[in-house]
Structures are given as structure tokens and as C-alpha cells.
Structure 1
């Protein structure tokens, strides 16, 4: 082949043919960002404590804690060591959020937080949960997303009970509403391998068929709280296999702090979200779910802001939420109403601190203006995604973000947009 010659077109065509199947398989496995809103938290409420006013009650209790223990912006800033310029905007946004939308995502818990009260009691609580959730949907007061956590498939007894509870709640909801509520999400705990995920799929398909639901309507979250959900007995990385076993139904991976750290052999004092063992598990979740559209959620802290430990509990929770945000986990568990104060304080402080620079960088990227940072398309996508999250949770309005919602969605999904900025 002499100078100036080109590679034969037949060679190129052969290479394209060889890679086409690989490309198609990769595109199916990694569809990219999931459209829609990701909640900043999931509130876990034991099923026997669920009432028709649980959402507003959590907001009222959180506001009462704020009024008592940090009655103004300066007081909250002192507790949480907030920068002076963020004190007022964070405090005002927290109060507004607690009054208007205290709970973004709710899971009615039939697992560890609920226990085993007996067959009749759990049946009754499952039926009542369906009625309460359906009532919220009819009234227009339902959280942005909601669902239940049923019992694990660890033993035949737990499997039978978990399936029955899931059946009662889903059947009750569809019976009350005539359809499945939007953003209804069951949570599958203590998963140890893809075989359990496949078993759950059988149940979901049967429910869809019996209730005349569209195929694939029932999606679910997997809790990563066993060591086997990270690495199996043959040394294989399990997270991608769990997602693959879900056949497109897995919507999220949620970390389980205490089951996981206990399984790693850690003592009680070391069972906390900042332990390196938890960092390893979360990194595995990130790598295993990257590009799949499966959302990630951090776990919980059991250091509650109650009694004489409100400020200590708030500081612990605020620091852990902030740490998670910096590590790419934009959702986490909340177990107590007073934790909503520091959930939103941490989220708002994070976005308000980053938004001006993010918006300026994104505008420079869109307008192709010169600056001190030359961003790649992947970074622009991350900037747009962060601003969209800030708007979704109430940290910013679209106007404050500098881009309308459609423009942010287009940039976050790397879709072409003619006029992204306002």
C-alpha cells in the first residue's frame, strides 16, 4: 500500500459487521440516563405506623423540631456550620419544603422496621397500606414516588410472606384505582444473587397478567446489603448480574448500611456510612450501575436527632448526606421526621454552593465561549443533570438555574437543543 492509499472499504465493512452485535448489546445494556425526577431521599415507615396523614405529619414534626432547636437561620447555621451567605436561603428553602412537600419518596416497610407480627396482622396492614396509598392518589397528595419494602427471599417462609404482602398491596392498589400508581416502587431487600431476582420476576409477571397490567409495569429496587450482592462465591462481580437478571425492571439500587457492615464483621461502633467498607460497596454499586439508568441511593444512619441529641444527630446526618452528595449519591434513606431538616439543609447547601459555577460553565459550553475551563460533552451532561436535580428538589427555580427545564433535560440526555438558555 503506497503513500496516500486508504484502507479498503471492504475491511471497514467487515469491522462494522463484527462490531454491530457488540454495539447493539452495549446500547441495550447501557441506555443512559433515566428520564424523570430522582427523589433526594426515601422515608421508611413501618407499615403498622402508616396513617392517611403520615406525609404531612412528618413535615409537621420536622417543622416543630426546627422551631424548637433552630428557630432561625443563624441558629441552624451555627449547628451545621453553614457559610454565612447560605444561612438564610437554606433555612428559608427548608421551611418551605417541609410545609409543602416534606416527603419526596415513601416506602411502607414490611421488613426489618416492621418485624413479624403474625399472618393476620400483616395481611391487615398490607390491605390498609393499599387503601392509604390509593387514597393519596385520589386526593392528589401522594409523594412523587412511593411503594413498599416486602420481606426477603432468604427462607421459604420469608419468601411466601413477602410474596403475599406484595400481592395484597399491588392487588389492593389496582382494585382501588383501576391501575398502578405512577412511580410505584417495591423494594427487594437482602438480595444474595441473580437467582432471587429471577424468582421475583416470575411473581411480577403473574401479577401483571392477573391484574391486566402492561408487561413490565412493575419495576423494583434492589437493596445492596449483603456481601454476596457485591462478590459471589466464585469471585464474580454481582451487581451487573443483578441488574441484568431484572430484564429492564430494576429502577434503583439502595444501600443497606447495617446489614452490610454486620456481614463484613464490623463491630457496632464501626457500623456507619463513613466506614471504608461502605465506600467499597457504594463504589461497586456506582461502577455496576453506570450507564444503565438504574438510580443509586445511599443508606441510613441510626443516630437520630431526638431527645438531648438533636443537634448531634443533625450534625451527623448533615455531614453524611453532604459526603454522599460529593461521592455521587443523590438520594438516601431517612428514618425519622427530624432528619428531614438536615436532609434538605444538606441538599440545598450543596446545590446553592455549586449552582453559580455550574450554570456559568454550562452556558459557556452551550455558547462555545472561551473560558478557563474547556468542558467535554460528558461534563456538560453532568452539569445539566446537577442543575436539573437542583430544580426538582426546590433548591433553585428554572430561572435561577439559567436554563429552562426542557433545555436541562436535553443537555442532560445529550440530545440536540436549539435554544437551551433563557
Structure 2
């Protein structure tokens, strides 16, 4: 008789609850596409043509700024001349075809307090514009609203906007890529309140339980470290009861809350990196997707100012990607060229190596790098992200997409 036979039942009993909790809280990475950015626009500026208008303005900025080759080469994003041509054309095609991947209609900081009548009218206008865009097939793949936070002063207005928006959209069918952003979260109880609100909306609207998810915007110190000295992001995700889809980082609110001087508020400040590392560790394996913040240095003005802003933005985008933050936040049409240029350079720069290593792994043929299953999953995810955003063409990948999804454990 083996030494452990007598206690196997006790081991199973000890671990049963733990197994169930782990399985519920860590279901694995979310399936499907993640946008590479979010674009926030004040609610009163949104209409059905806004994405196309941003794309046209982005293309105009490229032309006036010396062309896409200038952006790629002068700022050091790509050195190989053939790749300059390839990436340049892909970026131009993207700006013409799908300039905005994720659009957030902002009723919070970007909109302010304009009174109930004005905000109610803006909500109704946004719902109508989304309907127009959906009917025309021009709506971005992901879109939604950021409403006012659940702090006492803005709670009633935020919930009113949330209810009006969701109710209005539901009458014509909710977009598949609907995103609801809850800002300035300071307590786990606010996440629980959000869950209650969404549950209360789903029933009367005839929506299936769990249809409405939301993002938690991490832009307060209290969201990162609670009053007892414990990290609260994990408990917030758990309190979301499977409804939390993402966590975007808010560069400027978070930095200002820590007393960092305006000149030093940045996505790459050590305080920002600390918050994002806590986010990254807390969200790993939960299916909650992370997004980095923004830079408020815009590529406008004289050529040297445009070049400097593009270089900064491109470097920050590349920095985020290398650290595992595959989404960011853009504030101006002229940031779209540097967003896609840096993103495409990232995915194409690692493409040849990933294709070779994945081929060796899938065919069990060995090679110079002995990859673990976890690394193979990461490479499959890399390729799928590149395909989703347009950085990689399907003809360049000698594997079936279904095989890549199987590596990630996705069956759909």
C-alpha cells in the first residue's frame, strides 16, 4: 500500500473548495479580439461620422508631417527599408479602413457637469448616432460610454446616464462590442454596486444574465492599495462577479492624486509603473484585459513639435507593448498614425522569430529555442493580436487560426 493512500480523501476534501475558488476567479485569458487603443471623446462632439473624420484627419496629419516613411524612419520605429514600405502601407490602409478600434463617448471628465437636461439630451443623441453608425456598418468594433463615478456627488447622475444609455441602445439591439467604463473607483463596494445596477437593468430589458459587463478605470491610489494596506484590484475583480472585462489605467488622475507635479506626470513615471505592475499581477489569469494610459503631448504645431510628439507617443506605445499592455488611450486624431506605426512595428518586428518557433513547436521539430507550452501560448496570442489589428496579414501565417486558438485553450 502506498504511503499516501490513507490520506487521499483528506487531501481531496482539503482542496475541493480551493479548487473551485481558483477555477472561478482564474478562468484564463479572455477569448476574442482586444482593441489596441481606446479613443475618448466628449459626448457632445460624438456623431456617427466621427471615426471616419478622425481617420481623415490622421491621414492629413501624416501627409502634412512628411509622410508615413518619415514617421517610421526618422523616429526609429523601423530601420529595414522593405519593412518601412510594408508597415507604411498597412498603417495607411488601417487609417482609411478602421481608424478607431474602440470609441468611448465620455460623460465624465471630458464632458463635465452641464445639468441634467443637457446630459439627458446628449445621451439620447449618442444612442441615436450609434444606431445610425450600426445601420451604416461604420461603427467601431468596440464602443460605449464612460459615465460619472459612484462617489456621492456624482452617483445619481452617473447611474441616470448609465440607465438611459443602456435602455436606449437595447431597444435597437446592443452592440456586440459594448463597453461601459466605471471611473475613479475607490472601494470594492462601488464594484458591487455596479453589479447590482447591471443586474437590475438586465431583467426589465430582457437581457440574459451577465450580458452587461464593465471596465474598472484604475486612476485612484485607493484602487491600488486599500486603507488596510492590501491591494484591492484582485478583490474588485472578484466583486465584479465575472462582469469586469477590462481595467484601463488613468495616467493623469492617478499621478495628480499622488501629488506628482504636472511636468512629471507620465505613463513611464515610477509611480505609474508600480500601479500597472499591481494591475498586471492582480488581473493575470482572470480574463480581465488591461490598458495603459495616455500622453497629453499632442502632435500639433510646427514640424519639430509634431516630430517630437510622434516620437514620444511611438516610444510610449512600444514601451507598453513590451511590458504586456496591448491597449492604450489616444486623445487626438494625429496620435493614430504613431499608435499604429509603433504597434505594427512591434508585431512585425517579432513576426519571423515567432513563426519559426511556433512551427518548430507545433511540428515537434526542435530548434535553437526549446519553448515551454506557456511560451507557445504567448506566441499564439502574439500572432492573433497581430492579425486582429491588421499588423500581420493572414497570408503571412502558415497556421490555421483555429490551431492558434487551440493553443490558447479557446474552442470558439
| Range into which the TM-score falls when normalised by the shorter chain | over 0.9
| Cross-structure match for 1:134 | 131
Taking the aligned partners of 1:211 and 1:370, their CA distance within structure 2 comes to 55
Relative to structure 1, the CA distance from residue 135 to residue 414 in structure 2 (aligned partners, 3 Å threshold; closer, same or farther) is closer
Indicate conservation of the 8 Å contact 1:94/1:345, yes or no. Answer: yes
Q: CA RMSD in A?
A: 1.5
Task: String of CA shifts for 1:342-377, please: whole Å, max 9, x gaps.
Answer: 110000000000011011111111111121211111
| Cross-structure match for 2:184 | 190
Structure 2 counterpart of 1:62, from 58, 82, 103: 58
Structure 1 counterpart of 2:272, from 278, 293, 313: 278
TM superposition shift of 1:10: 3.3
After TM superposition, list the pairs within 5 Å mapping 1:301-312 onto structure 2. 301-308=295-302, 309-312=305-308
Structure 2: tracts of 5 or more residues without a match = none
Taking the aligned partners of 2:283 and 2:266, their CA distance within structure 1 comes to 23
Structure 1: tracts of 5 or more residues without a match = 418-422
After TM superposition, list the pairs within 5 Å mapping 1:315-394 onto structure 2. 315-394=311-390
TM superposition shift of 1:81: 4.8
Taking the aligned partners of 1:75 and 1:243, their CA distance within structure 2 comes to 39
Relative to structure 1, the CA distance from residue 414 to residue 14 in structure 2 (aligned partners, 3 Å threshold; closer, same or farther) is farther
TM superposition shift of 1:399: 2.8
Taking the aligned partners of 1:185 and 1:16, their CA distance within structure 2 comes to 40
| Cross-structure match for 1:420 | none
TM superposition shift of 1:414: 7.2
Structure 2 counterpart of 1:150, from 139, 147, 163: 147
TM superposition shift of 1:13: 3.3
Secondary structure in 2 aligned to 1:83? coil
Relative to structure 1, the CA distance from residue 193 to residue 368 in structure 2 (aligned partners, 3 Å threshold; closer, same or farther) is same
- Number of residue pairs aligned between Structure 1 and Structure 2: 409
Taking the aligned partners of 1:277 and 1:89, their CA distance within structure 2 comes to 37
Tell which deviates more after alignment, 393-402 or 297-306.
393-402
Structure 2 counterpart of 1:165, from 161, 165, 176: 161
TM superposition shift of 1:77: 1.5
TM superposition shift of 1:9: 2.5
Secondary structure in 1 aligned to 2:145? strand
After TM superposition, list the pairs within 5 Å mapping 1:7-406 onto structure 2. 7-74=3-70, 76-85=72-81, 86-155=83-152, 157-175=153-171, 177=172, 179-308=173-302, 309-406=305-402
Structure 2 counterpart of 1:407, from 381, 403, 410: 403
Secondary structure in 2 aligned to 1:154? coil
Task: String of CA shifts for 1:281-339, please: whole Å, max 9, x gaps.
Answer: 00000000000000000011100111222111111100000000000000000110111
Indicate conservation of the 8 Å contact 1:74/1:87, yes or no. Answer: no
TM superposition shift of 1:409: 1.1
Taking the aligned partners of 2:376 and 2:8, their CA distance within structure 1 comes to 32
TM superposition shift of 1:22: 1.1
TM superposition shift of 1:72: 4.6
Taking the aligned partners of 1:209 and 1:301, their CA distance within structure 2 comes to 40
Taking the aligned partners of 1:17 and 1:401, their CA distance within structure 2 comes to 47
Indicate conservation of the 8 Å contact 1:221/1:253, yes or no. Answer: yes
Indicate conservation of the 8 Å contact 1:104/1:145, yes or no. Answer: yes
Relative to structure 1, the CA distance from residue 292 to residue 72 in structure 2 (aligned partners, 3 Å threshold; closer, same or farther) is closer
Scaled by the length of structure 1, the TM-score of the pair is 0.94
Indicate conservation of the 8 Å contact 1:317/1:343, yes or no. Answer: yes
Taking the aligned partners of 1:189 and 1:327, their CA distance within structure 2 comes to 24
TM superposition shift of 1:75: 5.4
Relative to structure 1, the CA distance from residue 247 to residue 74 in structure 2 (aligned partners, 3 Å threshold; closer, same or farther) is same
Taking the aligned partners of 2:330 and 2:71, their CA distance within structure 1 comes to 23
TM superposition shift of 1:171: 1.0
Taking the aligned partners of 1:89 and 1:83, their CA distance within structure 2 comes to 12
Task: String of CA shifts for 1:33-58, please: whole Å, max 9, x gaps.
Answer: 11100000001011010012001001
Taking the aligned partners of 2:366 and 2:80, their CA distance within structure 1 comes to 32
